[in-house]
Structure 1
Amino acid sequence: MYMKIHRYAGVGQIVAVCDTELLNTTLTDGNLTIHITEGFYGNTPCTPEEVKTAIQHASNCNLLGEKAVQAAIECGILKENGYMRIGTVPHAQIYRT
């Protein structure tokens, strides 16, 4: 997986994670198109443990891919059915207040 942590004053951390094979691709489902770029998701390879630690401390998360979404489910932040699919790719956004 690739991960990038965005830090914003007053908002906290936004953790963006995508499965390795998705970086620099485009997903389309009907009228929805998502460009999976290094600018947002980064290009730093991370282990599932590193991803779990980061998303447990994040204010918000943006997760794309089977492995990224599974990491959130495994650490109890996301329910088994708490995500959508863009085409066949799992996608979750998690917001904490």
Structure 2
Amino acid sequence: MLLRERETPEGTLVSVCDAECLGETYDNGRASLSVSEEFYGGDDAVEADPETVVAALHRAQVGNLVGREAVAVAVDAGLVDEEAVLEFDGTRHAQLLWL
């Protein structure tokens, strides 16, 4: 998985995607999802294992996850409710917001 953390005026933003999703665009008939290099990749992105992803999501105020593995890690850790996961043309997407 690719993990990218950055500071924003609203707090830490964490983006995670399965590596094979980078550069792809998915559609579910109601919306499309672009997994852009600018948001999910770049020089700040690192390869991460599940433990590193979970730790980063605990530090985040906002998290964006794309891909079956990335979303499964967040669901398995109890950070994302399975019912809140969206399906996009063969992949999965979830967002996380700590208030």
Q: Do both share a fold (TM > 0.5)? A: yes
Query: TM-score, normalising length from structure 2?
Result: 0.87
Question: How big is each residue's C-alpha offset from its partner over 1:16-72, in whole Å with a ceiling of 9 and x where there is no partner?
Answer: 111111011111222422221121012421111111110111101100111111111
**Which residue number in structure 1 is paired with residue 84 of structure 2?**
82
For 1:14-93, list aligned pairs within 5 A.
14-42=13-41, 43-93=45-95
Query: TM-score, normalising length from structure 1?
Result: 0.89
Q: Within the alignment, does 1:3 sit opposite 2:3 as a pair?
A: yes
**Which residue number in structure 1 is paired with residue 96 of structure 2?**
94
Q: Percent identity?
A: 31
The answer for unaligned runs of 5 or more in structure 1 is none
Q: How many residues align?
A: 96
User: Per residue, is there more strand in 1 or in 2?
Assistant: 1
How far residue 91 of structure 1 moved from its aligned partner, in angstroms, is: 0.6
TM superposition outliers: structure 1 runs of 4+ over 6 Å: none
Take 2:77 and 2:8, find their aligned partners in 1: how far apart are those partners?
24
- The one-letter amino acid paired with 1:63 is L
Question: How big is each residue's C-alpha offset from its partner over 1:56-97, in whole Å with a ceiling of 9 and x where there is no partner?
Answer: 111011001111111111221112322111122111011111
